[in-house]
Structure 1
């Protein structure tokens, strides 16, 4: 089970006590470098996105979080979740390469979905880079499907 605040159906509320191995809890300051390393090991980082900034931004407000699972003191899985007021979004779903296929990815998604549903999300979405076709089957097995839309974006320069 995953520790997710506000959803007693799935797991207990986050506690100050250390989480059991494999239990998803909110990231701590001590986890940051391991999380960034995991994201790099999983090929999720890009030169134009500073993962430290993404982490800090997710932790700065109450509409987003980063959930982590540990095993033997090592961060082995993550999921970043954010709620935009209507939809929930998943980012940086990662499992240590040596543990992929173990069920941790599914558990990460379930934990992040529960976190988002507890905050009112009625729909949960995620984006998969077109180069990351290996993960499409994983998400399809979890009930995610192509939403027949095109995502557009624009970088906004800081003043």
Structure 2
């Protein structure tokens, strides 16, 4: 069953993200999750087996396009089409809000994940992403 996470499941989600290697030192996964769950334009979907969280996807609409982050499937549950099902749920969630496009960002050296999205029909766009991190106070860091 796929449904939005409840706040009581945040520890389970972050543990799953850590298990799947998605957490980076410069991102606070709890802050990311709280921001997504409290926003009007975003949510975190979870797949459950016997009330146990086994997969997640953070989905949001920035007003121009949709984005998916933290797609994670517990290694013990891989091969059961959960990633595919979560992406379909994200696409449905975004289409229901009128988003014309869904983007995902994948680290360049992650060939397995790139292959997963290609198998779902996603294609690589000819773009370069630049970023700037903000300090904890919310202002650009030096």
TM-score of the two chains, using structure 1 as the length reference: 0.83
Match of 2:120 in 1: 142
> How big is the shift at 1:145?
1.1
> How big is the shift at 1:117?
0.9
Q: What stretches of structure 1 move > 6 A for 4+ residues in a row?
A: none
Match of 1:73 in 2: 51
1:87-102 matches, cutoff 5 A: 87-102=65-80
Q: Distance in 2 between matches of 1:156 and 1:36?
A: 22
Match of 2:2 in 1: 24
Q: Distance in 2 between matches of 1:119 and 1:156?
A: 29
Q: Distance in 1 between matches of 2:71 and 2:133?
A: 23
Match of 1:122 in 2: 100
Q: Distance in 2 between matches of 1:24 and 1:37?
A: 18
- Indicate whether 1:52 and 2:52 are aligned: no
Match of 2:39 in 1: 61
Which of residues 38, 48, 58 in structure 1 aligns to 2:16?
38
| Number of residue pairs aligned between Structure 1 and Structure 2 | 137
Deviations 1:126-149 (A, max 9, x none): 000123221111100111111011
TM-score of the two chains, using structure 2 as the length reference: 0.93
> How big is the shift at 1:61?
1.3
Q: Distance in 2 between matches of 1:99 and 1:70?
A: 10
Indicate the RMSD between aligned Cα atoms, in angstroms: 1.0
Structure 2 gap ranges (5+)? none
Q: Distance in 2 between matches of 1:72 and 1:46?
A: 29
